Amino acid sequence: MDLLVNKAKEMLIQEKYTCVIINNKNIYTSRDRGVKPLLDWYGTVNLKGASAADKVVGKAAAFLYVLLKVKEVYAGVISEPAYKVLLDYNINVTYDKKVKAIQNRDKTGFCPMETAVWNINNPNNAYNAIIETRKKLMNK
């Protein structure tokens, strides 16, 4: 594991962040849940080659990490499809726990974002599905 991803992981755990990304001398942190921080950073900051630590990485987050062009990801919990996406795009990945799929917050089924991209294999198509799902969830 790279020194920067170790630092990101340490910050994630000690400061109780949901996501930490370190790129060069910049550190981006968030306590927002789900894919929100990744969507906020996409297109606004250059994270190419960055190291990320994330509490939970489902397939939707994995595709966003691909689009953000990070080089490595540590996940507290990662889904099997997310793990495969990261490996397919040559992103180094370490994790504490791998699960079949990310559960929703009520623990009554899959996370809506995981479900939205379950059968998608292209990062741009996944991004569009994530945006559409987010709009639907916000209108509930």
> Of the candidates 16, 29, 120, 103, which has an alpha carbon nearest to the alpha carbon of residue 66?
120
pLDDT (tens, 9 = 90+) of the chain, 140 residues, equals 678 999 999 999 999 999 999 998 899 999 999 999 999 999 999 999 999 999 999 999 999 999 999 999 999 999 999 999 999 999 999 999 999 999 998 989 999 999 999 999 999 999 999 999 999 998 86
Inter-CA distances, 40 with 18, 64, 103, Å = 14, 11, 23
pTM for the full predicted model = 0.96
Please give the Cα distance from 24 to 102 (Å, whole number).
Answer: 30
Q: How far is CA 6 from CA 30, 77, 83, 100, in A?
A: 17, 16, 18, 25
For residue 38, the Cα-to-chain-centroid distance in whole angstroms is 7
79/8 Cα distance (integer angstroms): 20
Q: Which residue has the tokens 């080659």?
A: 49
Neighbours of 57 (CB within 10 A): 30
